[in-house]
Amino acid sequence: MEPTPDSTAPAAWARTPRIRSLSALQSTFVLSRNHVGRLAFLCGGRLELLPVHYVFADGRLVGRTSFHGWTSPDDATSEIVFEVDEAPGLFEWRSVIVRGTMRMITAPPAGADRDAYWSAVVAFRELVPDAFTERDPTPARRIVFAIEPTEITGREASMSFFSRPRPATTKERSHGDYL
């Protein structure tokens, strides 16, 4: 007999991947231990997606780019969406979405931007120690960006959660958010 989704037998739901929300702390751990993410922004009325290196420092994302072949976001201070994934297996993954404001700082800035620029450079050098020096492995990437999060959310799929899944809501079933 095939198990049904409503079956109470452990075997019926034990092999089904579970998706759950990550806590704020778990989401920051995912951001902290990864260094490649995707930055989505509007450019010329078009949605663009750019892979970037980053560090998560002092509650913000700091990175650098050249917008090599791309143009920069429409505004100097732009609303963006940033995403990072960990996927050790098909049904074992974590994904964190950061919504916030991105500010780009070109080198070398003057005035108040100077402190923000060097603070970002110091943070990024934790990832690439030779960044912005004569030994820089990617010297064309001169534009520094900082993303101030307004919202951080995360989700995780796993085959090994120990609790029994709750029934899916009508909204989850209609949006495919529940496996």
CATH hierarchy code of domain 19-159? 2.30.110.10
Cα four-point dihedral sign 108, 110, 114, 117: negative
* 99-122 CB burial, b ≥16 within 10 A, e <16: ebebbbbeeeeeeeeeebbbbbbe
Q: In the prediction, which pLDDT does 176 show?
A: 44
| Dihedral pair phi/psi, residue 99, rounded to 5° | -110, 140
Kindly report the pTM of this predicted structure: 0.71
Segment 16-75, tens digit of pLDDT:
889 999 999 999 999 999 999 999 988 778 888 888 889 998 898 988 877 655 555 555
For the chain, the structural domain boundaries read 19-159
pLDDT at position 168 is: 52
Mean pLDDT score, 134-150: 81
Average pLDDT, stretch 83-103? 94
